[in-house]
Amino acid sequence: MSGDPIIIVDHDPEWRDAFRRLGTALRDAVGDTARRIDHIGSTSIPGLGAKPIVDIQISVPALEPMSYREPIESLGFVWREHNPELTKRYFRETPGARRTHIHVHKHGS
């Protein structure tokens, strides 16, 4: 088995605040292209221990064209072009930044 070890930590109320800041920045950057921007995953559940990674889902009308790519990248996130999950587009933080995953899905999928 390879990769980083999985570490679960106690719930941190800062996760909610981090999402609110990022969600606002994403809404400003992506605009009406985003039908929804949601905090998802274990860090979104108060009181639950989790991997300290803030997961955000952005719902868009269509995955292509990627009109949302440049606005998301302008906030310091990197498109993971080789993500094997073809039903979404996936962005990650730049090295050294707070661990954040942005999942872009087609609205309603």
**Pairing label, strands 77-79, 36-40:** unpaired
Where in the chain are the domains? 14-106
pTM (2 decimals)?
0.93
Query: Quick one: pLDDT at residue 46?
Result: 95
Q: Which of 3 and 77 is assigned the larger pLDDT?
A: 77
Q: What is the pLDDT, as a whole number, of residue 3?
A: 74
The pLDDT tens digits of the residues spanning 21-36 come to 999 999 999 999 999 9
Instruction: Give the 3-state secondary structure percentages of the chain, helix then strand then coil, rounded to 5.
Output: 25, 30, 45
Cα–Cα distance, 35 to 73 (Å, whole number): 19
Q: Cα(13)–Cα(19) distance, rounded to whole angstroms? A: 10
Using DSSP, state whether 26 is helix, strand or coil: helix
Instruction: Please tell me whether residue 36 adopts helix, strand or coil conformation.
Output: strand
Given the candidates 1.10.10.60, 3.40.50.1370, 3.30.460.10, 3.30.43.10, the CATH classification of the domain at 14-106 is: 3.30.460.10
pLDDT per residue as tens digits for the range 38-87: 999 999 999 999 999 999 999 999 999 999 999 999 999 999 999 999 99
